[in-house]
Structures are given as structure tokens and as C-alpha cells.
Structure 1
Amino acid sequence: MRTLTKGLPVLLIGAALAAAVAGSGSAAVGAGRGLEIAVPAYVLPGDPMLTTLQGTAPAPSIVVLNPDSGYAAFDTGWQAQADALRTATAAGGGRTRVLGYVDTARGTRSLADVEATVDNYLRTADHRLHVDGIFFDQTGRDCGEADVTRDYYAALRGYVQESVYAISPHTKELVADNPGTAVADCYLEPGHRTADTFVTFEGSADAYANGWLGGNVFNDTAGYYSGATFDPSGTSFWHLVYATPDTAGMRTVLDTAYARGAGYVYATDDVVGTPWDAAPSWGFAAQTAYAARKG
């Protein structure tokens, strides 16, 4: 059972929060946005899932690689796989960005321990950048007392930013947090933001259709709301949906994700257990092409 987030300071609960909630209705959600496919691929280098992704046109915008939750060495085999994925072109014309998976155990791992796992991806023997950033999994979704949990994740984002800059100053890093559900809006507070994008739903297609909490973010005062005001780029939220029954169901998931304010989405017919270890039966191109029609 997760605890409720603590209330935000009065300043945020005032005019700024009122504006955010007012801007979170259906007219604001989706305005001026696109929809991009972002795929967690929890397989080994050379797996058919990854070779299929490399040949998909348009390619997904993001692929997450997972060498044993970041504990296995991100060695030359993994680096070559990441490099190959990063040559593909996504629907918007940019290249696919690759993220390395790091588990945070809901904020119970020490910062030093998590940073060491980040180093596995970013501080390689050849001193080259093979990934674009980090996908932090099992993240918190509440602020914590005196924002301590939020600040833990803000520190991790800062560490990724500094590490990427040290290796490749012209590369714009990408950080994702995955609480798997709506996140407290303190995580998106200007000056303290913990990630570029947040996975605010991870679950089955049935749960997506029938168990949506009502928004990507929440606050004790406002409840659940879209979070559109915190999302000027249209890419702040990412929905991951498994056990999707068929191609028509995939399109429904993408339509729903767009309506709910997600900038990134992925749907698969893979099932609970390890739902991110195989390509969907309809293939990736059907999904990337459908998403490209949005916006």
C-alpha cells in the first residue's frame, strides 16, 4: 500500500496549481502534441526483438536495454547493440535514443549504489557514450517527508546529467522515472524535476481501460489530473500496456494514451511475468506508423 503524498507548499497550491488543474481538461490534453513509441526490450544483444527493432521504419523513439537490471557488465556486446539501435530513424526524423535500465527499489538503494549502476552504462572503458541516458525503474511516486524521496530522484537525475556532459558535452541526456502509476506533482516542480519523462501507467490493457486513476499526476489538494501544464514538450508521460489482445486493441491503447496526455506509449500482447521480452505479434512498424499519424 503506497502512502499519500504530503501537501505541496502553499505557493504551489495557490494560483500556479489552480492554473495547472484548469489546463488539464480534454481541450488541453493532446493540443499540439505528437505520439511516439518507446519500447522496453528486456532481452540479450542480438535477440530477434532487438534485430527487428533495428529494421523497423519508422523506428521507435526510445529503446530501453536491460543487462540484468544493470548489474551485468555493459560490455562491448551490449555497447555494439546500443550503437546499432541508435542509428535508426524515428518518425519525427531524429534517431532512436537508447536508455540503460537501473532499478532503484522504490528509493531504498543508497545513492552511491544506484550511481555505481549508472556508471556501468556511462563510464565505459572506451570513454564513449553508447546510451542517451537512464531508465530508473521501481521509482517512488510520493514526495516523502520534506520532499526527501523526490530529492533522492532529483539527485540521480543530476548525476546522469553531469556524467553525460563529462563524456559528450553536446549530447542532450534523457532520464526516465518509472513509478508505474500517477506521480506526485512535486516530481515535476520547476527546479526540482526528477526526470524528462515519467511512466505513469504500467499494466494490462484491461486495467488500462478500466482502472485508470484519472491523471498522470496527483496532489493531495487537486487529486488526480492530467499534468498538461507541466508538459510543454508533450513528452513528459509514458504509458506501458501489456496483454493487449490484437492489432485493433493496440490502436485503441494508442488512441487512449494520446487522449490521456501521454507523449510516449507502447502496447504489446506479451503477458504479465516478463511482458517486455518479445515483439508484439503485429510487429513494431504497425505501431510506430499508427503513432506517427497523431498530432
Structure 2
Amino acid sequence: MRTAVKGLAAVLLSSLLAVPATAADAAAATPVRGLEIGVPAYVWPGDPMLTDLKAATPATSIVILNPGNGDSPFDASWQAQADTLRQGVTATGAHTRVLGYVHTENGSRSVAAVKASIDNYLKTADGRLHVDGIFFDVVNRECGTNNSIRDYYHSLRQYVQDTMDGVDPSVQDLVVDNPGTAIADCYLEPGHRTADTFVTYEGSYADYTGGGWLGGNVFNYTAGYYSGATFDPSGTAFWHLVYDVPDTAAMQTSLTTAFNRGAGYAYATGAGLPNPWNVSPSWKFGAQTSYAATIG
């Protein structure tokens, strides 16, 4: 989900057929919380989109900041934006959580380079945390040989946790992985989980309400696609991002559909490719956060 947005993964494993959730999966399908709104804001400090986000009532639950695809310095101007956004109060009474954007090139980017990008957000000159965690983009959805790709992302999550704890143990870290499609369930295995939340849909409204939904948030190489509810006792493990949404009614349909498909976070925008994440939706953020608060 860079500024030049990647599309939904096009190559599907032919052996992965949509299957019904197990009884245990179905039993866990009702989240503890309702739906919340998480927004990628791929703009520069002072952009009208950030002004709209600050004014939203209720506030959005998550905002992703993206300084030059994560490679530009997270300097004082960015820190000020983050600090202001974190003062927003959501429908649940919590404060907005701000995440820094880091790309991973499907697991091929060197760990050292990724850690340098993480440090850009977490190791600031004033020694304070201005973000609540990291949003990893261009994430590989496959386990890899002997779970090598999964373990790459697991090590990055541990680095974020350790670094944030070293700066300010009082801040609850949040790590998000964005494959933009269903993730292999090895990524959610206890003791090896690579993120708190996974973006398991990033695509158009037409695909989301048509044939673009694969049938689940996670997949297993043998069993196929399933909801992933058994990995998600808090109801916040999955996040759906929908663009090219035609109107307010379709926005509401997107959010309701996201919740019904097991998402704890969602976002719908009327903007489209090549970058749906650099402008406010015409219905503004408050309409979306208010509607989401009625779901669940």
C-alpha cells in the first residue's frame, strides 16, 4: 500500500478452496468489540486530509503516517502531526493510535534496512515516542520454506516491541502487517504471531462486493480459506481497506460487510488508484466513525 498502491494479490494457489469455518471458528466469530475505523493518510504534514482527521468526531481509531514511503525523516513537523492526532477520542473512549509506515518488499528487503526505517519513527532526537507502533506494507502472505518468511516478520515485530519498550514501557505497541489479501495461518500461530492486526483485504468496492473476496481472512495450505476467528478473541485481528466506493450508502455497505467478514477495523473511500489514500472521502471521517460505532 505504497503511494503507488499495490493491487490485491493476483496469483492464488489452486488447491486453496473456500471452506466453511470450523465449529470452533464459528463459535469465536463474534468479536468482543464492534467495528473501528483505521485510515491510511499518505499525505504530507499540513495536508487537508490530516486537518479533516483531526476534526473528526468520533476520531478514527488508527491513522497511518507515511513520510515518503517511510524513507523520509520523521522530523519535528511529522512528530507534531502525530502528537495532535493521538489526542483524538474514538467512539470507544480511547485515543487515536498513530502508526509509522515501513515497506518490506514481500520479505526481500534486508532486516537491517527495515530496522533503520523502524528506528526513524521510534528513536527520535527527543527520546520520546510519537507513534504507537509500525505498519508494515508489501507483506508476503506465504510462510516460506521452514516458515522462513513468517519468521522474518516475526523478528521485525519483536524488534518493534523491544524498541518501544526501551523508550516508553507505558505505551502499548501495535504492529500491523499488510499483505492486502488473506494471510497464511502460520503468521498467527501462538508464539510466532507476526502482528497484532493484518490487512486481509485491500481493493476496490466492486471486487469486495463481487468476486474479489477470497472467502476468509486466513488460509491453510490444506484446508483452504477460513475466517480466522479462532485467532481473534478481541475482534481486532483483521482490517479491510476498500476504495472506489461510489457513495455514502456504499460506504455503509462496505463497513457492514467488513464486520460480517470478521474485520475489527475497516476504511472506505471514494478515491481510486493510483493512490486512494491521499484525500478525504466525500462523506468525511465523522460519518464513517459514527456509522461504524453502530455496528456490532
- The two structures have a TM-score, normalised by structure 2, of 0.92
Within-5 A mapping of 1:104-123: 104-123=104-123
Percent identity, please.
63
Preserved CA contact (<8 Å) 2:64 2:101: yes
Task: Give the counterpart letter for 2:84 in structure 1.
Answer: A
Aligned-partner Cα distance in 2 for 1:58–1:230: 28
Q: Which residue pairs with 1:229 in the alignment?
A: 230
**CA-to-partner distance for each residue in 1:236-263, whole Å, 9 max, x for gaps?**
0000000000000000000100100000
**CA-to-partner distance for each residue in 1:119-152, whole Å, 9 max, x for gaps?**
0000011110000000000001010000000000
Change (3 A) 1:189 1:60: same
Q: 1:63, CA displacement in angstroms?
A: 0.1
How many residue pairs align between the two structures? 284
Change (3 A) 1:105 1:5: farther
RMSD: 1.9
Q: Secondary structure at the match of 1:139?
A: coil
Aligned-partner Cα distance in 1 for 2:254–2:151: 33
Q: Which residue pairs with 1:97 in the alignment?
A: 97
Within-5 A mapping of 1:128-143: 128-143=128-143
Q: 1:23, CA displacement in angstroms?
A: 3.0
Aligned-partner Cα distance in 1 for 2:67–2:251: 27
Q: Which residue pairs with 1:65 in the alignment?
A: 65
Q: Which residue pairs with 1:256 in the alignment?
A: 257
Q: 1:156, CA displacement in angstroms?
A: 0.2
Task: Give the counterpart letter for 1:114 in structure 2.
Answer: V
Q: 1:272, CA displacement in angstroms?
A: 1.2
Q: 1:207, CA displacement in angstroms?
A: 0.7
Aligned-partner Cα distance in 1 for 2:15–2:108: 19
Runs of 4+ in 1 over 4 A off after TM superposition: 1-7
Aligned-partner Cα distance in 2 for 1:110–1:212: 31
Q: 1:234, CA displacement in angstroms?
A: 0.4
Preserved CA contact (<8 Å) 1:104 1:139: yes
Within-5 A mapping of 1:75-90: 75-90=75-90
Within-5 A mapping of 1:125-274: 125-210=125-210, 211-274=212-275
Aligned-partner Cα distance in 2 for 1:133–1:105: 19
Preserved CA contact (<8 Å) 1:5 1:142: no
Q: 1:30, CA displacement in angstroms?
A: 3.3
Q: Which residue pairs with 2:3 in the alignment?
A: none
Q: 1:69, CA displacement in angstroms?
A: 1.1
Q: Secondary structure at the match of 1:100?
A: strand
- The two structures have a TM-score, normalised by structure 1, of 0.93
Q: Secondary structure at the match of 1:284?
A: helix
Preserved CA contact (<8 Å) 1:141 1:184: yes
Q: Which residue pairs with 1:23 in the alignment?
A: 24
